[in-house]
């Protein structure tokens, strides 16, 4: 790909700190993320791994513009993020589909919000349903679909509005292993087709390595910091199931896990204390 002289990164976090008041309104406030700085280049697939409660989602919310950081700032393609980041698509961990809309209408929603007429939006949503393997399921409502199918709808819903950067918050964590690997491969295929930037949050190191160009490691909370950065120079295209058997993969896994393990133990001790 030909690159401009100094292309603005798809995402840039500068010293982002997020502090929340404690839930009961008194006592200490809770710092989820402490001074996080990183960049995601245009077209890059970056994963962020960290133990439970390490503020992974918080950072993503800052990048999406859903959350205003207490300190620092986020930039997307050189523009400071104030309010909803219009260049970003977000795939949530929890169920985010509108339960009162059919699968097709859910996929078409983003276009409708952007002013496309309803009939035309539905027409354009149809091929997207096929692309995520749900042809013929357009009339189903979310509760009539399996967990994996709902994630596919959510993926099509996010991609149809052509975001320049996709933020994914453990999107497949609720799926069984087989469905999950299938979805991971499909995501990689869709990503390879037009190389958008992706920030992929997960607590599963194998998933992170198998999919990414780069893996960032976050320390245990509270006050999580970025403590490691690893370039994943495995060949593409990849098959997430096969690649796990290669020696390069195992070497990378051993290296990153060596650092992550301590943090996971710390995080585990924290949750036990709470």
Residues near other proteins, by CB under 8 A:
64, 66, 84, 86, 88-90, 92, 94-102, 109-110, 112-114, 141, 143, 157-158, 161
Task: Provide the minimum distance between the beta carbon of 243 and other proteins in the complex, in angstroms, as a whole number.
Answer: 30
Burial 213-232 (b: 16+ CB within 10 A, else e): bbbbbbbbbbbbbbebebeb
Task: Provide the minimum distance between the beta carbon of 113 and other proteins in the complex, in angstroms, as a whole number.
Answer: 4
Residue 162 or 242 having the CB closest to other proteins: 162
188 with 240: CB under 8 angstroms? yes
Residue 90 or 172 having the CB closest to other proteins: 90
Task: Provide the minimum distance between the beta carbon of 135 and other proteins in the complex, in angstroms, as a whole number.
Answer: 21
Residue 121 or 217 having the CB closest to other proteins: 121
Task: Provide the minimum distance between the beta carbon of 114 and other proteins in the complex, in angstroms, as a whole number.
Answer: 5
Task: Provide the minimum distance between the beta carbon of 145 and other proteins in the complex, in angstroms, as a whole number.
Answer: 11
Task: Provide the minimum distance between the beta carbon of 129 and other proteins in the complex, in angstroms, as a whole number.
Answer: 16
Task: Provide the minimum distance between the beta carbon of 53 and other proteins in the complex, in angstroms, as a whole number.
Answer: 18
Residue 90 or 200 having the CB closest to other proteins: 90
Residue 132 or 256 having the CB closest to other proteins: 132
Residue 146 or 178 having the CB closest to other proteins: 146
The full DSSP string for the chain is ----SSPPPSEEEEEEEEEE--TTSSS--EEEEEEEEEEE-TT-EEEEE--TTSSHHHHHHHHHTSS--SEEEEEETTEE--SS-TTEEEE-SS--S-TTS-HHHHHHHHHHHTT--HHHHHHHHHHHHHHTT-TT-TT--GGGS-HHHHHHHHHHHHHTT--SEEEEESTTTTS-HHHHHHHHHHHHHHHHHH--EEEEEES-HHHHHHH-SEEEEE--SSSB-EEEEEE----SS--TTTGGGSHHHHHHHHHHHHHHHHHHHHHHHHHHH-
Give strand pairing partners of 16.
Answer: 36
Residue 144 or 248 having the CB closest to other proteins: 144
């Amino acid at each position: 790909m030909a690159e401009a002289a100094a292309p603005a990164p798809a995402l840039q976090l500068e010293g982002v700190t997020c502090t929340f008041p404690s839930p009961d309104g008194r006592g200490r406030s809770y710092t989820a993320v402490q001074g996080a700085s990183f960049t995601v280049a245009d077209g890059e697939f970056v994963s962020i791994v960290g133990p439970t409660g390490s503020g992974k989602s918080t950072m993503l919310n800052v990048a999406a513009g859903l959350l205003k950081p207490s300190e620092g700032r986020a930039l997307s393609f050189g523009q400071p993020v104030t309010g909803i980041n219009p260049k970003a698509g977000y795939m949530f961990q929890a169920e985010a589909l509108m339960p009162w809309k059919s699968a097709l209408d859910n996929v078409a929603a983003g276009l409708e919000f952007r002013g496309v007429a309803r009939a035309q939006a539905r027409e354009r949503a149809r091929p997207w349903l096929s692309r995520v393997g749900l042809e013929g399921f357009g009339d189903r409502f979310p509760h009539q679909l399996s967990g994996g199918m709902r994630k596919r709808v959510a993926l099509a819903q996010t991609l149809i509005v052509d975001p320049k950067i996709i933020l994914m918050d453990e999107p497949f964590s609720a799926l069984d292993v087989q469905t999950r690997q299938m979805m991971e491969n499909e995501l990689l295929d869709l990503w390879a087709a037009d190389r958008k930037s992706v920030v992929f949050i997960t607590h599963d190191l194998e998933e992170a390595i198998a999919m990414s160009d780069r893996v960032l490691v976050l320390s245990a909370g509270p006050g999580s910091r970025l403590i490691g950065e690893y370039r994943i120079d495995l060949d593409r295209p990849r098959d997430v199931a096969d690649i796990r058997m290669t020696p390069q993969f195992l070497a990378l896994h051993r290296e990153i896990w060596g650092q992550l393990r301590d943090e996971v133990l710390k995080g585990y001790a924290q949750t036990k204390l709470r």
